[in-house]
Each structure stands twice: as structure tokens, then as C-alpha cells.
Amino acid sequence: MSQTGRRVSLIDVAVRELEVVRVSDVSPAMKRVTLAGKALRAEAFPPFVSTGFDDDVRMLFPYPGETLPVLPETDESGRVQFAPGRRPIARAYTVRKHDAEAGEIDLDVVLHGDDGVASQWAQAVLPGAPMHIVGPGQTKSLPESPDWWLMYGDDTALPAIARLLEELQPGSRGLAVISVAERAHRIELTHPDTITVHWVDRAEHVAEQGSLPEPSDLLRVAEWPEGEPFVWLAGEQSEVQALRRFVHQTQGVPKTAIDFTGYWKHHRHDTDAANER
Ligand SMILES: Cc1cc2nc3c(=O)[nH]c(=O)nc-3n(C[C@H](O)[C@H](O)[C@H](O)COP(=O)(O)OP(=O)(O)OC[C@H]3O[C@@H](n4cnc5c(N)ncnc54)[C@H](O)[C@@H]3O)c2cc1C
């Protein structure tokens, strides 16, 4: 059980050798990369499981000049581990959709314009390209019927929020605040009509107000419904930490009702994300 009361199921981790079968534009700043392979089909062993809206896999990238990424090894007890030494170049991505019949997953990758290996790969990748993934290592259930839902995320959290919105029961009340770099990055979302979606366009905010929005202002965009919320926050690490402080200290929401994850850090060249969680 997680601190927020979400039931955690651990999953046998395997390395899965896949191929890019489709690439499409979700928005001008996000590519949907569809990966396929037998290892994602219903009969695969260990099975690929992704029942939680915020499950993630790690894409493994080769070092420059190499064709294969650093791959983990499976020991005699079946545990998958990276050997000490050269660390894998691994990046976390949310499983936007798993189709076990077709043996496919969709990953929605933000093209953030910095020189990240994953972002650059997604910008240029074509069908036929190979990709190794590991995970998900765990999957978390939805919390038991909160009075209402508060979701905040930036562009990187859009895949998880989109999946959560699609999975919510009809009549679920709540507020989703999504901060994107610019208006053109908004996407169509499917959600119960009792959920309000509020978009924040960072470029417009800077043009109009001269600065980026304060984290606490982000969540003051609309009146909060009555009752005890379940709060889910993801995005740039320091922003998410500030939002959590605001939700807990200013708004009085107990920490046990706040699920928060730093999805990326400013000015960070991350070659060993796989070893951090
Ligand atoms: C559980 C989890 C799920 C995630 N799901 C998704 C997802 O579905 N889609 C998605 O796009 N991302 C997702 N992320 C975030 C993604 O893993 C990071 O953005 C990652 O750092 C991108 O790798 P990169 O190789 O492109 O850049 P890196 O090599 O990691 O970083 C290079 C530079 O780019 C900057 N940078 C990294 N990401 C961003 C960004 N988003 N915006 C602006 N600058 C950035 C860094 O600060 C650094 O200066 C998720 C992260 C986690 C932990």
C-alpha cells in the first residue's frame, strides 16, 4: 500500500526488445511513439502489465557510437539487474496505452528542445527503429473513492493525466490543471463532464504578466470543490515540491492524500535515472 492508500503491485521486471511501428504528432511538442513486439502480447512471459494510469517504463538508449544500450542481466533467481560499471542511459515514460492483442504500447514523448537523448530520439525516429525497455516495476491502483480529484501536471505529465481522466468513473468530481509551454500544445482530452480542465499556457503568462506563474497561483485557478481530495502532482521537480507544500501547508490537505513525483529537473543531464527509483 502506498502512503496515499493506493494498492501497490510489484511486477516482475523484464527487458523487452521492441520495434517502433508508428510515430505520430500528438501536438507540435509531443510525439506518440508506438512500440511493438511479442514481449508485449498477452502470452508474453513475464507478462507486460500496466493497469495504473501513471505506470512508467524506462527506454534504454545506446551510448554515442554504439548500437546496443547497456542491458541488464537476469540472475539465477530470475531477478533483472544492471551489472556494476557502466550505467544504462535510461529515461522514464508513462505507458499511455497498452494493447495486449496487438502487442503494442504508446509512449507520448515531449520534444522539450533541450539536448536530451530521449527528446532528440523521438524527434527523429522512424518506424523500424529498435528500442529496449524495462518495466513497469510496479503498478498502483486508483485511490478508494476520494470526494474529488485534483490533478496537476506539466507537458510531461499529460500522458498520465489523460489516461487518468479516461479511467475516472462518470460523475467523478474534480479539477485538472495542466501547464503547457504554449497554447498550441493543448490536446483533446476525454473526461467526465464533472471534471473541469484548466489549461495554463506558460508563454502567454510570461507575455501578459512578465513572469512564469507562481506554483500556488497554478492551483488557485478555480474554486476547489467541497470535501477531501486526492491530489496527484507531477512535473518539474522543484515546482512539484512547491505545489505539494502549498496543498499541504496552505490548503490543509493531509500528506497522505497527496501523490507527487518530480518527472524531470531543470539543467540536469541524467544518465542514470534507472538507478534512482
Ligand atoms: C515516472 C515518470 C514518468 C514520465 N513520463 C513521461 C512521459 O510520458 N512523457 C514525457 O515526455 N516525459 C515523461 N517523463 C519525464 C522524462 O523522463 C524527462 O523529461 C527526461 O529527463 C527526458 O529525457 P531527455 O533525454 O529528453 O532529457 P535529459 O537528458 O534527461 O535532460 C537534458 C536537458 O533537458 C532538460 N529537460 C528534461 N526534460 C525536460 C522537459 N520536459 N522540459 C524542459 N526541459 C527538460 C533537463 O533539465 C536537461 O537540462 C516522466 C518521468 C518520470 C519520472
Query: What CATH number does the domain containing 31 carry?
Result: 2.40.30.10
Between CA 159 and CA 57 the distance in angstroms is 13
Q: Are residues 124 and 182 in the same domain?
A: no
CA 145–ligand 1 middle distance (angstroms): 31
Nearest-CA residue for atom 29 of ligand 1 = 116
Question: CB of 179 closer than 6 A to ligand 1?
Answer: no
**pLDDT at residue 183 above 90?**
yes
Q: Of 139, 168, 190, which closes a domain?
A: 139
Question: CB of 180 closer than 6 A to ligand 1?
Answer: no
Pocket probe mutation, ligand 1, options 31, 61, 97, 112, max atoms within 8 Å of Cβ: 112
Q: What is the pTM of this model?
A: 0.95
* Residues forming beta bridges with residue 60, ordered by sequence position: 90, 132
**Domain that includes residue 110, residue range:** 8-139
Nearest-CA residue for atom 17 of ligand 1 = 92
The model's pLDDT over 60-91, given as tens digits with 9 standing for 90+, comes to 999 999 999 999 887 777 777 888 888 899 99
Q: Does any domain span residue 269?
A: no
Question: CB of 266 closer than 6 A to ligand 1?
Answer: yes
Would you call the peptide bond into 127 cis, given omega within 30 degrees of 0 as the criterion?
Answer: no
**Nearest-atom index, ligand 1, CA of 119:** 26
Q: Are residues 187 and 246 in the same domain?
A: yes
Q: Of 108, 139, 170, which closes a domain?
A: 139
Q: Are residues 117 and 146 in the same domain?
A: no
**Nearest-atom index, ligand 1, CA of 94:** 8
Q: Are residues 118 and 147 in the same domain?
A: no
Q: Are residues 13 and 89 in the same domain?
A: yes
Residues 6+ apart with CB under 8 A from 193: none
**pLDDT at residue 188 above 80?**
yes
Question: CB of 272 closer than 6 A to ligand 1?
Answer: no
Locate cell 492508500: which residue? 5
Q: Are residues 117 and 195 in the same domain?
A: no
Confidence of residue 270 (pLDDT cuts 50, 70, 90): low
Give the count of domains, the chain.
Answer: 2
The model's pLDDT over 15-32, given as tens digits with 9 standing for 90+, comes to 999 999 999 999 999 999
Which among 98, 109, 100 has a CA at the least distance from the CA of 167?
98
Q: Does any domain span residue 2?
A: no
Confidence of residue 268 (pLDDT cuts 50, 70, 90): low
Residues 6+ apart with CB under 8 A from 64: none
Q: Does any domain span residue 273?
A: no
Q: Of 139, 173, 198, which closes a domain?
A: 139
CA 115–ligand 1 middle distance (angstroms): 11
Between CA 188 and CA 253 the distance in angstroms is 30
CA atoms within 13 A on the CB side of 142: 17
Residues 6+ apart with CB under 8 A from 47: none
Would you call the peptide bond into 229 cis, given omega within 30 degrees of 0 as the criterion?
Answer: no
CA atoms within 13 A on the CB side of 112: 19
Which among 275, 14, 274 has a CA at the least distance from the CA of 134?
14
